[in-house]
Structure 1
Amino acid sequence: MATTYAALLRGINVSGHRKVPMAELRSVLEELGHRDVRTYLQSGNAAFTTDSDASEAALTTELEDAIESRFGFRVDCLVRDGAYLAAVAAACPFPAAELEGKQLHAVYYSGPADPERFASIDRDAYLPEDFALGDRVLYLYAPDGLGRSRLAEVVGRPAVVKGLVATARNWNTVRKLIEMTHED
């Protein structure tokens, strides 16, 4: 049975570094045997359909290996199916419909976002910014945007996310990825 996934690449095409042109990313995914490949923006968002019964972790490793082979550097990736992305959006504790896309972010993780990792953060010190944890995701409310968020810096510290791949998407991109991976 075919499944549609989103591939989320971390830290590419930033300030001219680690360039992965989206046309070439589409080619890489097609060469891996995936179909209906499409990309969104230049920041490493792709959707694809596959008949493979491989796990998300196996699809992730396959994509990371293929990118390294093509471009000569390794890129951390996360692969998530459309049902997961929709469930993450549905579980959002913040009023997504009332906020601008730049105010709400989903930080996707490669593994569980254990509450213990975040226990030492004095959330009151960062108000009105706030965060909540979900299934391999952190929801970040940053009313002035991610670039001005002090809380984003704290929840993204290496000591907090140690051992996890983490990549953030604003809520506009979250919605677009759900649309791109929606299966009828």
Structure 2
Amino acid sequence: MNVGGTGKLPMSELRAMCASVGFSNARTYIASGNVVFESKLSESSVKAKLERCLETYAGKPVGILVRTGAELAAVLANNPFSSAAPNRTVAIFLDAPPPADVLDNVSGQQTEEIALGTREIYVHYKDGIARSKLKIPAAGTGTARNMNTVAKLAEWTAA
């Protein structure tokens, strides 16, 4: 999830929310809305339960993006910029496949490289993300995680 819209959300509170809706073994990674847990529910049910909890907490809708451990491993395996610095390469997670015309609607692109994934947009920020002026309209409802974070979450789900 992108916790920017929630106000302050302590990760202990996020873990408690997961437990309250029946998810087990919840672990959070850094204070940016990354949570790994176990559930037998479908992706849509997991998403709906967490979104309801977060809307109650924040007083407004908060979008959630769900990936299984296998999907996280695939994001890593399919990273077209795997030889680039993992802290300068992100996967922007989306609910659905990126639109076919996503690259036609990009603005501000300089040295960044962009590639489309299954339900992700990969971006390699050669000169770093802080200086980038890149705008990808299709990414507006997504949330980005660098490859270091994706690798850690994939590792946790495999354990």
What is the TM-score of this pair, normalised by structure 1? 0.78
Which one of 40, 43, 46 corresponds to residue 59 of structure 1? 46
Task: Name the CA distance, whole Å, in 2 between partners of 1:60 and 1:120.
Answer: 28
Q: Distance in 2 between matches of 1:69 and 1:79?
A: 19
Q: Cα offset for 1:127?
A: 4.2
Runs of 4+ in 1 over 3 A off after TM superposition: none
The structure whose residues are more often strand, as a share, is 1
Show the 5 A alignment for 1:123-142: 126-142=109-125
Counterparts of residues 1-184 of structure 1 (less than 5 Å): 9-12=1-4, 18-50=7-39, 52=40, 54-94=41-81, 96=82, 98-121=83-106, 126-151=109-134, 154-155=135-136, 157=137, 160-161=138-139, 165-183=141-159
Q: 2: distance between equivalents of 1:170 and 1:84?
A: 15
Unaligned 5+ residue runs, structure 2?
A: none
Unmatched runs of 5 consecutive residues or more in structure 1: 1-8
Code of the residue aligned with 2:76 in structure 1: it is A
| Identical-pair percentage | 36
> What SS class does the counterpart of residue 146 from structure 1 fall into?
coil
CA RMSD of aligned residues (A): 2.0
The question of whether the paired residues in 2 share the 8 Å contact of 1:102 and 1:146 is answered with no
Q: Is the 8 A contact 1:26 1:38 kept in 2?
A: yes
Q: Distance in 2 between matches of 1:25 and 1:44?
A: 8
